[in-house]
Structure formats: structure tokens, C-alpha cells
Amino acid sequence: MREIIVKKEQLVDELAEKMQSAVSLVAFDYPGLTVAEFTELRIQLKQAGCDAKVYKNNIARRAALKAGFNELSDIFTGPKAIAISYQDAVAPAKILNDFAKTHPQVVLSASIVEGGFLNDADTKVLANIPSREVLLTQLAVGLLQPVRELAVGLNMISEEA
């Protein structure tokens, strides 16, 4: 009996450490997903440098409290899994949101991004933010537009003269 308690404490400590060192984590519901579908989701997350694992709710709840994420501890009821990223803050939310478009069983519950709690609605907003590359492209276009307009205007003045 004592060995089981020690093992569970180790799992809580391990998950709490992962939660604290993660850039972001997303808790999600997955009822009705087949093993093959969940494996497909894990592969997509792994390719983006994320981990996905199902933890017992009691262990996840205790780990969230130990890590200082009290709001997150309240959502661990029913079948939940956790996707954790140590590099990209948006990747797990984006991948899960895209996966949920074809698998409606997957529902984003809440997330922690850079230490801040986001509820399900905020997590979906985060998931719909364009990628870094798209944002940089939009910024470059925005910066180049006035220069282009100036060049066109100067060209028109030189042609008139």
C-alpha cells in the first residue's frame, strides 16, 4: 500500500515539474476517440515538439495545485489529457484546435501559457492566432506599403516633369 502512495507522489512531483517548466500546456477532453485517432494526435503533437499524455484526474489536480495553477486544478473531471510544449507557446492549442475540426470529440478545456491561466474560450482564441511566420509577413507588408506608395508617387512626379 505504501509503495503505491510513494509512486503516486512521484507522478505528482513529475507532472508538477513538467507544468512549471512548460511554455504552455493545454488540457482537453477526448471522449470517444479511438486509440488510432489518439495516436495520430500524439504524432502531430510530437512533430511540433509537444507531449500528450493522459493522467488520472486526482494526480493532475494535485500536480496543478503543487505547481501553483489553482484555476487549472478545477477542470480535471472526466476524461482529460494534457498536451505540453516546452518551446512554442501556441503549438499545442493550434494542433488540438485543428484536430478538433475533424474530430469533434476533442474539446479544449483550459490552458496555461507562460504561467497565465486561459479558460476554454481564451484557449480557442489563442489557437486561432496566425503563426509567427504569417505575423512577420503581415508586419513586413505593413512596413513596406508606405515606402511603395512613396516610390509610386515620386515616379509619377518624375514622369510629369
pLDDT in tens, 15-48: 999 999 999 999 999 998 999 999 999 999 999 9
Domain co-membership, 84 together with 151:
no
Domain co-membership, 55 together with 109:
yes
For residue 42, the enclosing domain spans 2-129
Band of pLDDT at residue 73, cut at 50, 70 and 90: confident
Domain co-membership, 21 together with 77:
yes
Considering only CA atoms, which of 91, 83, 97, 98 is closest in space to residue 131?
91
3-state helix, strand, coil in the chain (%, to 5): 60, 15, 25
Band of pLDDT at residue 101, cut at 50, 70 and 90: very high
Domain co-membership, 107 together with 147:
no
Domain co-membership, 104 together with 136:
no
Rounded (10°) angle between helices 57-67 and 2-21: 50
Band of pLDDT at residue 1, cut at 50, 70 and 90: low
Domain co-membership, 138 together with 148:
yes
Average pLDDT, the chain: 89
For cell 505593413, what's the residue? 142
Domain co-membership, 121 together with 136:
no
Whether pLDDT at 86 is above 70: yes
Say how many domains are in the chain.
2
Whether pLDDT at 144 is above 90: no
User: What distance separates the 2 farthest-apart alpha carbons in the chain?
Assistant: 94
Domain co-membership, 146 together with 92:
no
Number of H helices, E strands in the chain: 7, 5
Q: Which long-range contacts (CB under 8 A, 24 or more apart) does 122-126 make?
A: 123/26, 123/93, 124/93, 124/97, 126/90, 126/93
3-state secondary structure of 81: strand
Domain co-membership, 36 together with 91:
yes
State the Cα–Cα distance between residues 161 and 153, nearest whole angstrom. Answer: 13
Domain co-membership, 120 together with 160:
no
Predicted structure pTM score: 0.77
Domain co-membership, 95 together with 149:
no
Q: Where residue 82 sits, what CATH number does that domain have?
A: 3.30.70.1730
Report pLDDT digits (tens) over 63-72: 999 999 989 8
